[in-house]
């Protein structure tokens, strides 16, 4: 029996290179020898279409081996998936931290822009008020130039050729009105001067004569 067992083991080793059906036959023979004692010496019983107990045991062993391999494979896959999940969780945490920092920077930037916008709005309001005050002042100055022009009775005939019927003082033609006002002012000053000149001469002559008379009195 020992020799036959050794021979069957050699057959089992050689069966690794043959097909699955022959491998099962070898396992059946080993099962008959090891599991059922000397039943291999008894005459073979007729097969009525049912599977022998040895075949069932071999199939059960093969099934268990397959299940063990499947369990080990699933454990390996579970370990791999666990490592991948941890890696993904770390990546998610890192990306969440980056997004949080980025969001914080955006919030600070928006806050800075909001404060700067409020400052610009305030400054623009002040500038707008200043422009309105300057506009009112310019209107008053132009109106004053218009009043002086009319008060001095300036000759507006040179302006009629340039402006037509629109003789109002504006920001674009005020220099022409100022030129005419300056010319009219010189004319008025000259007229006043020449009108007062004879009187001034007589007054100076009387003062000179009085001075001469007083001088002669003192010498006498």
Instruction: Give tens-digit pLDDT for 31-46.
Output: 554 454 444 444 444 4
**Residue 134 counted as domain residue:** no
Rounded Cα distance, 138 and 53, in Å? 121
Specify whether the CB–CB gap between 145 and 169 falls below 8 A: yes
The predicted structure's pLDDT at residue 65: 78
Among 61, 49, 54, residue whose Cα is nearest residue 35: 54
Rounded Cα distance, 44 and 36, in Å? 14
Q: Which of 5-14, 63-72, 134-143 has the lowest mean pLDDT?
A: 5-14
Token output for 35:
């599991």
**Residue 180 counted as domain residue:** yes
Give the confidence band of 215 by pLDDT, cuts at 50, 70, 90: low
Token output for 103:
């969001």
Res. 130: pLDDT tops 90: yes
In order, the DSSP letters of 18-39 are S-HHHHHHHHHHHHHHHHSTTT
Q: Which of 50-59, 73-82, 98-107 has the lowest mean pLDDT?
A: 50-59
Burial class (CB in 10 A: 0-12, 13-18, 19+), 89: exposed
**Residue 193 counted as domain residue:** yes
Q: Which range marks the domain in which residue 158 is found?
A: 152-219
Q: Which of 14-18, 90-94, 183-187, 207-211 has the lowest mean pLDDT?
A: 14-18
Between the CA of residue 54 and those of 8, 25, 57, what are the distances in Å?
15, 10, 5
Query: What's the whole-number mean pLDDT along residues 47-70?
Result: 61
**Residue 190 counted as domain residue:** yes
The predicted structure's pLDDT at residue 169: 86
Q: Count structural domains, the chain.
A: 1
Query: What's the whole-number mean pLDDT along residues 78-94?
Result: 91
Residue with tokens 């218009």: 146
Alpha helices in the chain (DSSP H): 2-14, 20-35, 53-151, 157-163, 174-219
């Amino acid at each position: 029996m020992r020799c036959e067992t050794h021979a069957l083991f050699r057959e089992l080793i050689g069966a690794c290179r043959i097909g699955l059906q022959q491998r099962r036959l070898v396992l059946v023979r080993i099962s008959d020898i090891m599991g059922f004692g000397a039943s291999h010496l008894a005459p073979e019983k007729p097969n009525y279409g049912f599977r022998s107990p040895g075949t069932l045991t071999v199939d059960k062993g093969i099934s268990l081996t397959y299940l063990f391999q499947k369990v080990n494979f699933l454990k390996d896959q579970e370990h791999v998936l666990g490592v991948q999940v941890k890696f993904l969780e770390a990546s998610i945490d890192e990306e969440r931290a980056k997004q949080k920092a980025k969001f914080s920077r955006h919030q600070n930037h928006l806050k800075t822009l909001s404060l700067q916008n409020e400052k610009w709005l305030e400054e623009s309001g002040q500038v707008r008020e200043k422009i309105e005050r300057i506009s009112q002042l310019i209107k008053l100055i132009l109106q004053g130039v218009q009043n002086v022009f009319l008060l001095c009775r300036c000759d507006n005939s040179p302006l009629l050729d340039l402006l037509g019927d629109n003789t109002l003082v504006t920001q674009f033609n005020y220099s022409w009105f100022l030129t005419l006002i300056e010319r009219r002012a010189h004319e008025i000053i000259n007229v006043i001067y020449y009108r007062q000149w004879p009187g001034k001469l007589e007054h100076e002559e009387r003062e000179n004569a009085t001075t001469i008379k007083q001088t002669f009195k003192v010498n006498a």
